[in-house]
Structure 1
Amino acid sequence: MNADLFDDRRCSLGEGPLWHPERGQLFWFDILAGRLLTRTGDGPAAWDFDQMVSACGWVDHDHLLVASETRLFLFNLVSGAEERVCDLEGDNALTRSNDGRADPYGGFWIGTMGKKGEDHAGAIYRFYRGELRRLYDRISISNAICFAPDGRHAYFTDTRTQRLMRVALDGEGWPAAEADCFIDFRADDLDPDGAVVDAVGNLWVAQWGASRVAVYGPDGDFLFAEAFGAPHLTCPAFGGRDGQTLYVTSARCELDEAGIAQHPLAGSVFQRDVTLKGQREHKVQL
């Protein structure tokens, strides 16, 4: 058994890991299967939906705000009931949700993208106090939505550009300036996927195709990387009792038979104890 393995269910496109701080429980998605997964002391569990689902934020002990192809909805973890919150490109059959995360102000940022990865088909939005507002358009693959511990900056990427962007935020968490390039991966031909910021401001960036989560300091300088047993790592999250367990989702899609044979754990969720501590995941304020 691989010491880094947290859950061996092979997702086609594992994404959106969230450590629920009140439940002490990790949730994540298999986007292409329309499935939300978790694991408790009783073992694995999952919920299936009629659309692709990709990301969530916690609202209270028993509810998540979930992003799907067409909407944001409140999901009851006990009853399985769904309650629509607002449309999310519900009139656009070409797109789906992708990466998302709650911000320090109680808002929820969510990106969309083309279901076939069409150029510039997606956007990045923020849901805050009942309003869904588009922040950026012409996004091809929305990813790496995360926030500095002091709430003064947000980060995001369009993976296809190979650049991770940073934007200053105002006192309510809205962008207060133009976004600028914080880390440029083009010289190393690296594709940034999901990302999270730890408690001291380091960015932990999953790099699609590179089998690693790379760590960059608050100044953007490369510090080190954590390697895992799958080429397509999609998103990291901090959790565990002390916030020092790193969880990483991964994908099997875009691997041929030889690739799957070489990386049999692709699609699993990995875990590793690390010396740095993550931020507590922020609560979504509806």
Structure 2
Amino acid sequence: MTDRSVVILDGTRCHLGEGPSYDPATDTVWWVDILESRLFERSLDPATTSARIHALPVMASDVAAIDAGRHLLSADDGLYVRTIATGDLSLLCPLEADKPGNRSNDGRVHPSGALWIGTMGRNAEPGRGCIYHVAGRRNTRLYGGLTTPNGIAFSPDGATGYFVDTAEGILRRVALDPGTGLPRGEPETHYDHSVGDGGIDGAAVDADGLIWTARFGASCLDAYSPSGERVRTITVPVRQPTCPTFAGRSLDRLLVTTGYEGLDEAARAADPDHGRTLLVDVGVRGLLEPAFHLDA
């Protein structure tokens, strides 16, 4: 285990922090608290003391850039375009409108501009989740029968996709069409974590192709090589890290969301920084998450 510089970026506790995004033009990070329907906005300027919190009418799980004035929010009933200046939401397309007991979960934009977004039962019911590919308004189901889809990430060239069902514990890889983000083959095992502490949660890929994942329940981040080896583990001062994204002018730090979902009073007391949002110096250069192509 290797400890790097870790700071509490924001002290507000998230019930289930997720879906972070970084805007280099404004040096601002965004993330959500799924279970409390909140969107967080925070400048990385050291003079900033707290995040701005936006109440949402939907249960959002992921924030992705569209352009300087708009975000894409993945939510429990669909995908929304959010106007940053006003907070106005416009439904882009529904997502599992026939499954009101489901919600969105982990998501990432592929280098082609298409979104991969996972869904799951609100109470993590086994097998209710799926992963979808969304290009513009076109929604294609890729994988079903999942419980907690997570770890969605892509190689720098867009030719490989990664994902995990946290309940199963197997990080998978699949060959992709770099121009569309659609699979070209069947998923294969990249790393088997079906036995071990915690579960693989959200992921981000650095400039060298290492897959950085949050290990929920185990107080750490892991890095996996493109060949499928776990090559680094970094401890963090919270029990339940959820999702990383690279942030900062040099993209050399990981913003890491966390949550206290499922922790009783004693467990929260033993984890004093539960739910707080971290900034972790991992000593590598990351990649900026691509913007979603609204008109694909």
Q: TM-score, normalised by structure 1?
A: 0.96
Q: Which moved more, 1:36-45 or 1:111-120?
A: 36-45
How far has the Cα of 1:189 moved from its partner?
4.7
The answer as to 2:39 corresponding to 1:36 is yes
TM-aligned CA deviation for residue 259 of structure 1: 1.1
Show the counterpart of 1:17.
20
Letter of the 2:42 counterpart: R
Where structure 2 has 5 or more consecutive residues not aligned to the other structure, the ranges are none
1:91 Cα offset (Å): 2.5
Deviations 1:192-214 (A, max 9, x none): 11111111000111111100001
Residue of structure 2 equivalent to 1:269? 277
Alignment root-mean-square deviation, CA? 1.3
Residue type of the partner of 1:269?
A: T
Q: Secondary structure at the match of 1:181?
A: strand
Name the residue aligned to 1:115: 122
1:205 to 196, 200, 213: 213
Aligned partner of 2:250 in structure 1 is: 242
Q: 1:272 to 1:3 in 2, by over 3 A?
A: closer
Q: Deviations over 1:125-173 (max 9, x none)?
A: 0111320111111110010000000110010111111001101001322
2:104 to 97, 103, 110: 97
CA contact 2:197–2:217 (8 Å) conserved in 1: no
Which moves more between the two structures, 272-281 or 153-162?
Answer: 272-281
SS of equivalent to 1:187: coil
The number of equivalent residue pairs is 285
> Structure 1 residues 189, 3: closer, same or farther in 2, change over 3 A?
closer
Letter in 1 for 2:236: F
Which shifted more, 186-195 or 113-122?
A: 186-195
Other structure's SS at 1:186 match: coil
Q: 1:81 aligns with which of 85, 88, 94?
A: 88
Mapped partners of 1:90, 1:68: distance in 2: 11
Residue 280 in structure 1 maps to residue 288 in structure 2: yes
Match of 2:52 among 42, 45, 50: 45
Q: Which amino acid aligns with 1:282?
A: P
Pairwise CA distance, 1:63: 0.6
Q: 1:188 Cα deviation (Å)?
A: 2.5
* d(CA) in 2 for partners of 1:3, 1:102: 27
In 1, are the aligned partners of 2:254 and 2:280 still within 8 Å (CA)? yes
Residue 255 of structure 1 corresponds to which residue in structure 2? 263
State which of 35, 47, 72 in structure 1 corresponds to 2:79.
72
Give the SS at the match of 1:235: strand
Q: CA separation of 1:231/1:189 partners in 2, compared to 1, >3 Å: closer, same or farther?
A: closer
2:240–2:260 CA contact under 8 A, matched in 1 = yes
Identity in percent: 37
- Aligned counterpart for 1:223 among listed residues 216, 227, 231: 231
Secondary structure of 1:261's counterpart equals helix
Aligned to 1:126: 133
Q: Which moved more, 1:15-24 or 1:196-205?
A: 15-24
| TM-score of the two chains, using structure 2 as the length reference | 0.93
| CA–CA separation in structure 2 for the residues paired with 1:258 and 1:89 | 37
| Cα deviation 1:33-69 (Å, max 9, x = unaligned) | 0111111255421211122110021000121110111
Once residues 80 and 172 of structure 1 are traced to their aligned partners in structure 2, the CA distance between those partners, rounded to angstroms, is 30
CA contact (8 A) 2:6 2:236 kept: no
- Counterpart of 1:200, as a letter, is D
